[in-house]
Structure 1
Amino acid sequence: MTAPSTGKPMRADARRNYERIVTTAQQAFAELGPEVALEEIARRAGVGIGTLYRHFPSREVLIEAVYRTNIEQLSQRARELLEIHSGADAFEYWLREQVAWVMANRVLATTLKAGMDHDTPVFQLCRTSIMDAATILIDAARDAGAIRSDVEPRDLLRFGHGIGVACEATPEAAERMLAITLDGLRTEKR
């Protein structure tokens, strides 16, 4: 891992601290909201406040790091699924994981996105990363003849987000909504 601000490789202990702070911040933001005291995040991460500020000079930089980490993980999951499943199955599994992720993290993600400048390189990187993930999944499913030819990457993201938001308070409806959506996207009906 490299330091985002300098591009230089991090020492092993610095990398561990960075990762621990990001993980802890994600949990603290989810539990206490994005205005949680940075001192509380440092305490929970087991680092001094100076260490936190060395990696994240402001709350905004920490919010960006947490958001970027979330999006990178979801995007990487698309690639992992394609390595072990057919294009059609990877597409379906990722949509299901996206819905679950939205249901579990929507409030946090919305709050983090709202606290970011959408013109920043980090936000643009996240947008590109998630769009690339959706594109490779759609291309693989389309190449397998499994989905309609008019499905676009943004459609996949909208379906996942929409179902996740719609089912946040009624998670038992998510499977039915996913089944209906997937059936409508397929080239052949099951």
Structure 2
Amino acid sequence: MNDSDPGAGLAGRPKRADARRNQQTLLDAAAAVFVASGVEAPIRDIAAEAGVGTATIYRHFPTRADLIIAVYRHQVEACAEAGPALLAAGATPYAALEQWIDLFVDFLVTKHGLAAALRSDNAQFDALHAYFVDRLVPVCAHLLQAAAAAGEIRAGLEAYELMRGIGNLCIGADGDPAYDPRRLVALLVAGLREPG
């Protein structure tokens, strides 16, 4: 009896880990398709990107709104976790900030489409926006403080203001293929450098 219980427990653990990995794969695929084609992209495109059937996506995310919300939360978490990881990777704090802002721009380009898709449910959208602010502003603040302490950027920059500025530069990127927010964001980030 004791032999069968541990075996049952072990059999259950890999399945849960596999299910988590499968869901992460679906969310990564959906995010990539949303960045390339917008949140209204066909589910079959997401399934193809993930290497699964459409039924698998619907099993995990019964509605498009469920998928959009899951992608939003997944991307917020990935962006939040990336900040400390970039600093720990040994790059200069300014380089870590630049790399993090690139990830943040990827998220924002997707987020604007997600936001438009979720506007019909203002309470849900407001809750997601609060989640976004609560998770990402402290990460940006930490990166700014590290770069300022290293003398690489001006001191006293506010994370929320910087993130709002970057967000404003990203608005409209999905509606105008000639507009490249990355170029303008790169100019903004270069302007943070300490003179001399």
Normalising to structure 2: TM-score of the pair? 0.68
Establish whether residue 113 from structure 1 lines up as the match of residue 115 from structure 2. Answer: yes
Identity %: 29
Q: Secondary structure, in 3 states, of the residue corresponding to 2:52?
A: coil
The CA RMSD over aligned residues, in Å, is 3.4
Counterpart secondary structure, 1:11: helix
| Gap change, CA 1:22 and 1:182, over 3 Å in 2 | same
Partner residue of 1:25 out of 27, 30, 36: 30
Structure 1 regions of 5+ residues with no counterpart?
Answer: 1-8
Contact between 1:142 and 1:148, CA under 8 Å: does it hold in 2? yes
1:132 aligns with 2:132: no
1:151 Cα offset (Å)? 1.7
* 1:10–1:144 Cα change, 3 Å: farther
For 1:52, the equivalent position in structure 2 comes to: 57
Unaligned runs of 5+ in 2: 1-13, 119-123, 174-178
> Which has the higher Rg, Structure 1 or Structure 2?
2
> Take 1:161 and 1:95, find their aligned partners in 2: how far apart are those partners?
16
Q: Could you tell me how far 1:44 is from its partner in structure 2?
A: 4.0
Residue 154 of structure 1 is matched in structure 2 by 160
**Structure 1 residues 137 and 67: alpha-carbon distance in aligned structure 2, compared to 1, 3 A threshold:** same
- 1:4-43 paired onto structure 2 within 5 Å: 11-43=16-48
Q: How many residues in Structure 1 have an aligned counterpart in Structure 2?
A: 174
Q: Which amino acid aligns with 2:116?
A: A
Alpha carbons of structure 1 residues 28 and 141: separation in structure 2 relative to 1, 3 Å: closer
Once residues 112 and 27 of structure 2 are traced to their aligned partners in structure 1, the CA distance between those partners, rounded to angstroms, is: 17
C-alpha distance 20-145 of structure 1, shift in aligned 2 (>3 A): closer
1:24 deviates by 1.7
